[in-house]
Amino acid sequence: MANDAKQGGVERGGQNRVIIAAGAFLIVALVGVIVALVILMNRNQPESESEPERELRSVVVNEDNAEELLDQIMSEESEPVGTGFYEVKMTTTWNFPDGASAAENAYVENVPTNTNDVYFNVELRDTGEVLYESPVIPLGSHLRDITLERDLDAGSYPCVLTYYMVDEEQRVVDSLRMGLQVVVEN
């Protein structure tokens, strides 16, 4: 009888081990099925959703495609630039016939999609000397025919143009620095 009790105890312990092993196997199988389903679902997604968005390169403008590209640009709906961002539209080399005349090609625009009015200062990169202080440029406006506030000798001058984004009371809310080359011909 004592032998029967021992045998019964071993059998019960063995059954518990079998149940635990079967439960573990079911859990592992269930995890495997879930992983397989996730992989299959990702494979069935359209490529446009699974691939990162590619940035398109700009196109060289020539006589043959100028009108088409202009029409394409004009037809695109412009979305406002996010707060804290500023879209820059300007020439980065300003050519002056002499140190006292207006630049032939200086152009700065505050595009309509920006969120703030701006003004800017132009300083010599080496010394920080201010060469020009602009008026406030409202959204959608531009500035050209810029004349420096200091007569420069002929030469090429590396400069920094600093944009100041301002609120309705002309308090500076953010700024942005850009490289600019000033070239004086004579």
pLDDT at 78 over 70: no
Q: How confident is the model at residue 34 (pLDDT cuts 50, 70, 90)?
A: confident
pLDDT at 11 over 70: no
Burial class (CB in 10 A: 0-12, 13-18, 19+), 117: middle
User: Which CATH number does the domain 66-184 belong to among 2.60.40.2550, 1.20.1530.20, 2.120.10.30, 3.40.50.2300?
Assistant: 2.60.40.2550
145 or 29: which leads in pLDDT: 145
- Give mean pLDDT, residues 29-40: 70
Give the percent of the chain with pLDDT over 70.
70
Neighbouring residues of 80: CB distance < 8 A, sequence distance ≥ 6: 113, 114, 115
- Give mean pLDDT, residues 24-53: 66
Kindly report, residue by residue over 59-77, the tens digit of the pLDDT: 777 777 766 766 666 555 5
pTM, rounded to two decimals:
0.57
Q: What DSSP element (H or E) covers 166?
A: strand 155-166
Question: Do the bridges between strand 117-124 and strand 93-96 make them parallel or antiparallel, or are there none, so unpaired?
Answer: unpaired
Q: How confident is the model at residue 167 (pLDDT cuts 50, 70, 90)?
A: very high
